Amino acid sequence: VQLQASGGGLVQAGDSLRLSCAASKRTFTNNGVGWFRQSPGKEREFVAGISWSGANTGYADSVKGRFTISRDNAKSTVYLQMDRLKAEDTAVYYCASHRSAYYARRADEYHYWGQGTLVTVSS
């Protein structure tokens, strides 16, 4: 079982990045996926989630209107498009596979996690 997050980097405030979460088919099939982030000294927080079909999505208030989650099941990949980035978006971003076909805002409802990709936004 593998989840591979990629796409992080160093950008300036106002720039965009697209994160990818590639999963093995067994991890991905029929599962919702969530993106979380964690910055130093803070707890891991929910960023965005998407159901297996892509029909249902949800966002943290802090990123709503700036971030967009999507998925391509044929490629077993989930994306997080991040626009108008802010310094406070700096964190390690993780993707995770939910136990069901839906997503959740609680990290303990996810059973498989990727290794994380670092996003640094300079102001």
pLDDT tens digits for range 27-37:
677 899 999 99
Confidence of residue 24 (pLDDT cuts 50, 70, 90): confident
Q: What is the pLDDT of residue 27?
A: 63
pLDDT value, residue 34: 97
Position 53 scores a pLDDT of 94
Using DSSP, state whether 2 is helix, strand or coil. Answer: coil
Q: What is the mean pLDDT of residues 10-16?
A: 98
pLDDT for 1: 58
- On whether the CB atoms of residues 114 and 37 are closer than 8 A, the answer is no
Per-residue pLDDT at 78:
96
Residue pLDDT, tens place only, 59-100: 999 999 999 999 999 999 999 999 999 999 999 999 999 999
| Buried b or exposed e, range 76-106, using 16+ CB within 10 angstroms | bbbbbebeebeeebbbbbbbbbbeeebbbee
Residue 30 confidence (pLDDT): 87
- The pLDDT of residue 52: 94
Q: How far apart are CA 12 and CA 20, in angstroms?
A: 20
* Mean pLDDT over each residue of the chain, to the nearest integer: 94
